[in-house]
Each structure stands twice: as C-alpha cells, then as structure tokens.
Structure 1
Amino acid sequence: MPSPAFAIRRWRLVVFLLLAVVAATAAWWRWSRPQFVASTHVAGPTTPPPADNRLRGVSWVAGDSVSSLDLEPLVRARVTWIAQTPFGWQAGATTPTIQLHTGVGHRGYWGESDRGLVLTSQRARQRGIRTLLKPHLWLRGGSGTWPGDVKMSSEADWQRWFASYSVFMLHYARLAESSGMAALCIGTELQHSVGHEAEWRALIAQIRAVYRGQLTYAANWNAEFEQVGFWDALDFIGIQAYFPLSTTERPTKAALLKAWQGPLRRIEALQKRVKKPVVFTEIGYKTTPDAAIEPWAWPNRTAVAATPDEATQATCYAAMFETFWPRRWFQGLFVWKWYPGLQPAGLARRYLDFTPQHKPAEQVMTAWFGK
C-alpha cells in the first residue's frame, strides 16, 4: 500500500501534467490559427460617423437580454442602425396561414418577443442607434426551406395567404410605431408573391395608416429586386445582396471589383428607373476561402479540414464598400451579422461564421462607416 507521502507526490505529478497539457493546447491554438487570433482586438474610434442619414447597420442576433455593454462595440464601430428580426411561422411553402408569436415562443429567444424587440430598440436609441424592424417567415418542415419557396397552389390560397400575412405584418407595424422604431421592412425574399402587386400595394396602404416611419422590402439578389413593381410606394429599395462574385477561392480585390460591375449596372438601372435610394438590407461574407463563391451559403462548421480565412472576408468587405459607398444613391447597408456580447475568447465556435467581430473585416467596416 503506497505511503501518504507517495500519494501526495503522485497527485502533484498529475496536476503538473494536466497544467502542461492545458498550456500546450493553448499554445497550439495560438500558433496554429495566427490569423484568427492576431486580429481579435479592434481599436474603436471615439468620433461619431458623419451626419449624412446613411444606414450604417448590422443585423442584430436576438438573445436573452440586452445591456449598454452589448451596444458599446457598435458605437466604437460607428454603427448607427440595427436590424431586428422576429419570426412568423408557416407550416410549409404552400400553406396559406401564418402563425404570429409575440412572446418568447418556439425558438425561445427573448430578443424576438415583442418585449425584447421594444427594449432592445429603446436601449439602442439611447446610444444613438436606430432600428429597422425586419420580420421574417420561418418555414417549419413540409415543402420549402426559405421564404423564397413560399408559393400558393391557387389564387384563392394566395388571397388567404395575403390576408394572414397582413395580420402578421400589421402587428409589427403597430409595434414599430408605438415604440418609435425608425424603419420597417414589409417582407423578405418572398419572390413568388411580388407578382401580386395589387395585394402588396393594399398592404402598404394599410401599414402607412398605422406607421409613420420609413418602409422598404428586402428583395433577393437573383432577379427578384428587378421584378418588384411597387418600389415607388416605398421609401428605399432593399436588396439582400448575396451576389456571387467568384468561381475560385481567395479572389483578389481587383477580381472582386471587376465582378461587382455586372450587379452594379443592374442596380443602377433600377435606381434610375424608380428614383429611390438603395439599401443592402443584408450583406455579409463567411470567414472562409470560398466566401465570394456562394455568399448566401452557411459554412460547414463540422468540416474537419475547415480553416478560417479572415483575409478573404476582409477583401470581400473592402471591394463591396469601394464599389458602392461612394455612390450618392446608395443609402447604406446592414452587415450580416452581429452577436451581442461576443468576446474574442468566445469566438472560436464562430470563426467560420459571417460575423466580422474581432476580425479584420470589422476594421474595414468601421473605416468605411466613418466616411
């Protein structure tokens, strides 16, 4: 039987070995991902952005609370707007009814409830940050996976869908008005519905009767933004700007600037025709080498060989800002996306993600938001 002294020495040896393993693991992480760790601190400016009414925005990820500490990084990054996204639930792409949940519902996020939306907006406004309320539809099972799949099987179902959708949207229009939210997005990527122009114009008139802020619609990048016939009834053109810009990984900024010329011509042609400013209601890039190939696609977080590529993400940001920010008709954008309270130490599980936080892309965004 070992003596007490031997047992103590053995326990000390075990503790020493455990500490050595922890130190070695930390060193491996630090040196195996130098690009990821080196840029975790972004020095924030103390000067406010220019007072030019541009929307310097981020898409705010709802959580279980919000504090002034969560908003301080936005102030440092010269952000002046956040987009908040509550959800309506639709059983399938051909189902003509939408369920409205105003409390902490199926997803369990306080920040998506009416109370959370209002409190977040109030606390943001205290820091000089305005809110775009941007309700989305969530398709639960059945046919379809995103709002662009919503397509009724008959004209009668379309009428039922618009009646249900109007109840959903008018609830948030009244909420936005009562809480002083500065803008409302009346729909997102509902590409099969935009041909029903009369129904959309009727809904816009109903919304205008209860809400006095700015209105937009968030049209998908593919062809939907050119098919919307009711832009004249809104205050600005909204585009979900996930345009594919490359067929190869790690494109140069010069290649991206060239690739932007096609989408730019299409957007400029629409803007000249309808004479409304343009806002990218969403735009963002993964932290991966293929970020510009299919910008809308989520990264595969389970890929064993996946490595972060902060340089490509930052290059995508730089090319986008350089293409659009100098144009007078361009009214702003909302970066997808921003996690409240995200610290460098907690970034590991999101290092492939769309967020620019604690990465060179945040520095690019902050610099352009200051112009």
Structure 2
Amino acid sequence: MMAVPFPAFYRFAWVVAGMLALLWAGAAALRQPAPLPLVPAGAVPAVTPTASGRLLGVNWVAVDSASSQDMEPLVQAHVTWIAQTPFGWQPDAARPEIRLHTGVVSRQYWGESDRGLVRTALLARQRGIRTMLKPHLWLRSGGTWPGDVNMASEAEWQAWFASYTVFMLHYARLAEENGMEALCIGTELQHASTGHETEWRTLIRQVRQVYRGPLTYAANWSDEFEQIRFWDALDYIGIQAYFPLSQQERPAKAELLKAWQEPLRRIRAVQKRYRKPVLFTEAGYKTTPDAAIQPWAWPDRKAAPAQPDETTQRLCYEALFETFWPQPWFRGIFIWKWYPGLQPDGPARRHLDFTPQHKPAGQVMATWYGK
C-alpha cells in the first residue's frame, strides 16, 4: 500500500526532531542511567543454565496479570526461556516516529508495560526460566507488519533510526537493570535491516554500552536473514522460521522432512559465513490442515469454522525438531505461542491457532525439550 503524501513542513519537522533525538540517544548511551525502582535489591535470583546450552523457549503472550501458578505448565514442558514482547507504536510505515509506552495505556496489556515485563521475568526466574526481551513495532495504519516500514528519503531514515534508538535503549536498560538474560534488538524490519548496516552497527554498540547480555535480531524467513550484514556483531543469528513446507493440506512427515532440506542448506550457509549459532526467535504451526502451506498466516476468523487438525500440527513439530536438533550450531527455538492460564476447554479459536498447549504438538515439544 502506498503512503499518503503529507506536507513538506511536517516531514522537515520529523527529520529535525529525529536528529535531535539521535544526539540525545548517543549521549544517553554513554551516561550511567538511574535504576528503575521495579525490582527490590537482591530479588533477582540466579538461573541455572540448561545442560545442553540450548534456549528451550516459548513466546509468552502478555496478559493483565501473572502468577507463579502460570509458570508451572512451562516447568512441566521443560521450557527454560520465555520471550516477552513490549511494543513501540509507529503511526504508519512511512513516518519516522516511534512512540514509547512504558505504562498501561489503551490497547495494551499490563504484561506489556515495564512493570508487567519485570514482574513476569521475576516470576519466571523463580522457576528457573530465563527471559529474552523482544520489543516489536506496531503500525497503527499504512502497513500490516514491521516489514512494511520504509522511509522516503535518507534524511527520514536517519530520523527513524534516531527514534528507534531511543525506543531500543529504553528496553536495553530495562533488561540490564532487571536481570533479563537476552535481548532481541529488532524483528522483521527488512527494509531497515538490509540497507542500513552502519546504523545497525552503531545501535548495537550503543546497546552493548548499557546491556551486558547476549543479543540477537529476529530476521524474516523469506530472504532477510540472508541479506543482513551485521550478524557478526551479534551473539545469535535469529530467524523467524515460518518456512513454507508444502503446497497441500495434511502432508506426510516424509514430505515435511524433505522440504526442510533447502531452508536447512540456506541457514547453514549463513551460519558458516558468520560463524554464529542460529536461534529460531519464532517457529510454530496452526492446528489446521494447511499449517505447512503458509505457516505465518493466522486462521481466517471470518471464514467458516474449520475443524482442528492436531495431527498435521504434530507432524510439523516432529519434522522441525528432527531436522534442527542434530545440528551442532543450532541453539534453540521460541515456539509461537503460549497463553498463560489456558485451560483444555479454553476458547475454540485457540484450538485452531498456533499454541501447542493441550495438544499432541505440546507433547512433542516437551519431549524434545526434555532430552
């Protein structure tokens, strides 16, 4: 979708504001930030590393509250990591302005606020589960996903990176001051990531000045992960692993295993070039017959209700683990996605969407995570 033109005066104002923000962000990265009073001193217990060194993760869905009871199903499934996702709000894909909401505002859950993120991480850590903080951008209009973000000029790109730096440094400090064990510095920003290597290297240096844990970036499966040139500056090559594996419904596992060989070759080539371990920052499958055709697509809620297909989802999980678990350079998966407190008789739409909870796919995940 093409962006609607807007007056030159406002473009100029955004660019100037962005450049001022860039100067502020650079200075902020060099000074020692004041601690956020979110976790009492000494309340961040250590987490024992997994024997395999792999990140056995799920993408945690933010809710209005969290308790230690919500962590018990993760423990039973041998999950050792959760990814938490706060949002930055961008008016549309062509405007270089990212709004940071650290408290609870309209259209935001408590679990996406600073206090919710910190509280959830603490509850997880008490059960031996680590946290990767994974901030995303949400486009209010003029685009459907972060991959649509694209500026009209180099000056606007500089303004966008200035705004994005302020956004990301906030969460880098939050992760550092509250003991979060990993940080993802971007997700599927394919226009920004593939044409602006210098800006990303600058951002990475600034983030490392305030956050000491491992860093990754979550690249789209299509070709973004192959075009990025700053993998050497990060700790993991992160991939949103929604590779299509079939053109038909209800594929056999043999077909799925065969289909994985080409993505495996492509991933291995990038890993060999940069000599960094690979992490699937997201991977998952719907509980539908067409789960392997377009794994990234949500079930169409406007269409006639489909019958859940737990067998196809299970086979997709089996093929995923059987393909990548033997690879010595593979460091783990964050399964998309996990709803705290979901019951077996929960909403019908959950039986069609991506969660493996209370399904055979969840048993597959738990078995491989427990090895």
Counterpart contact for 1:49–1:369, Cα < 8 Å: no
Aligned positions, number: 323
**AA at the equivalent of 2:230:** F
Instruction: Return 287-296 or 298-307, whichever deviates more.
Output: 298-307
Aligned counterpart, 2:76: 76
> What is the aligned partner in structure 1 of residue 25 from structure 2?
none
The residue that corresponds to 1:15 in the other structure is none
Q: Structure 2 CA distance, aligned partners of 1:347 and 1:77?
A: 21
2:149–2:191 CA contact under 8 A, matched in 1: yes
Q: Does 1:182 align with 2:190?
A: no
Offset from partner CA, 1:147-174 (integer Å, 9 cap, x none): 0000000000000000000000000000
**What SS does structure 1 have at the residue aligned with 2:191?**
coil
Separation of aligned partners in 1, 2:114 and 2:289:
38
Alignment partner, residue 343 of structure 2: 343
**Residue 253 (structure 2) aligns with:** 253
User: Are 2:147 and 2:190, in contact at CA under 8 Å, matched by a contact in 1?
Assistant: yes
Cα distance in 2, alignment partners of residues 349 and 193 from structure 1? 34
In structure 2, distance between residues paired with 1:348 and 1:137: 28
Q: In the alignment, is residue 101 of structure 1 matched against residue 95 of structure 2?
A: no
Which residue number in structure 2 is paired with residue 155 of structure 1? Answer: 154
Which structure would you say has the larger Rg? 1
Structure 2 residue runs of 5 or longer lacking an equivalent are: 1-47
Quote how far apart the aligned CAs of 1:305 are.
4.5
Instruction: After the TM superposition, list the runs of 4 or more consecutive aligned residues in structure 1 that deviate by more than 3 angstroms.
Output: none
Q: Which secondary structure does the structure 2 equivalent of 1:239 belong to?
A: strand
The letter of the residue matching 1:329 is: W
Contact 1:89 1:137 in 2 (8 A): yes
* Amino acid corresponding to residue 208 of structure 1 in structure 2: R
Is the aligned partner of 1:171 residue 2:170?
yes
1:326 CA displacement:
1.1
Q: Which residue of 2 aligns with 1:356?
A: 356
How big is the shift at 1:50?
5.3
What per-residue deviation string (whole Å, max 9, x for no partner) do you get for residues 296-319 of structure 1? Answer: 000023432411100000000000
Deviation of 1:370 (Å)? 1.2
Residue of structure 2 equivalent to 1:90? 90
Aligned partners of 1:49 and 1:74: how far apart in 2? 16
The residue type equivalent to 2:313 in the other structure is: Q
Cα distance per residue 1:81-126 (max 9 Å; x no partner)? 0000000000111100100000012323000000000000001000
The code of the aligned residue for 1:356 comes to P
| Contact 1:49 1:78 (8 Å CA) reproduced | no
Paired with 1:248 and 1:64, the residues of 2 have a C-alpha distance of 39
- Counterpart position of 1:135: 135
What CA distance in whole angstroms lies between the structure 1 residues aligned with 2:49 and 2:310?
A: 25
Distance 1:49 1:232 in 2: 24
Contact 1:301 1:352 in 2 (8 A): no
Query: 1:175-194 deviations in whole A, cap 9, x for unaligned?
Result: 00000000000000000011
The superposition leaves residues 42-67 of structure 1 with CA deviations (integer Å, 9 ceiling, x where unpaired) of xxxxxx99512200000000001111
Letter in 1 for 2:143: G
Partner of 2:275: 275
1:64: which partner in 2? 64
User: What residue in structure 2 maps to residue 145 of structure 1?
Assistant: 144
1:200 equivalent to 2:200? Answer yes
Secondary structure of 2:150's match?
Answer: coil
Q: C-alpha displacement at 1:336, in angstroms?
A: 0.2
Q: Secondary structure at the match of 2:170?
A: helix
Q: Tell me how far 1:247 sits from its aligned partner.
A: 0.2
Amino acid of the residue matched to residue 118 of structure 1? Answer: V
Structure 2 CA distance for partners of 1:50 and 1:185, relative to 1, 3 Å:
closer
Unaligned runs of 5+ in 1: 1-47
Name the aligned partner's letter for residue 69 of structure 1.
Q
Distance 1:138 1:168 in 2: 13
Residues 175-220 of structure 1, C-alpha deviations (whole Å, 9 max, x = no match): 0000000000000000001120000000000000000001000000
Matched, 1:114 2:114: yes
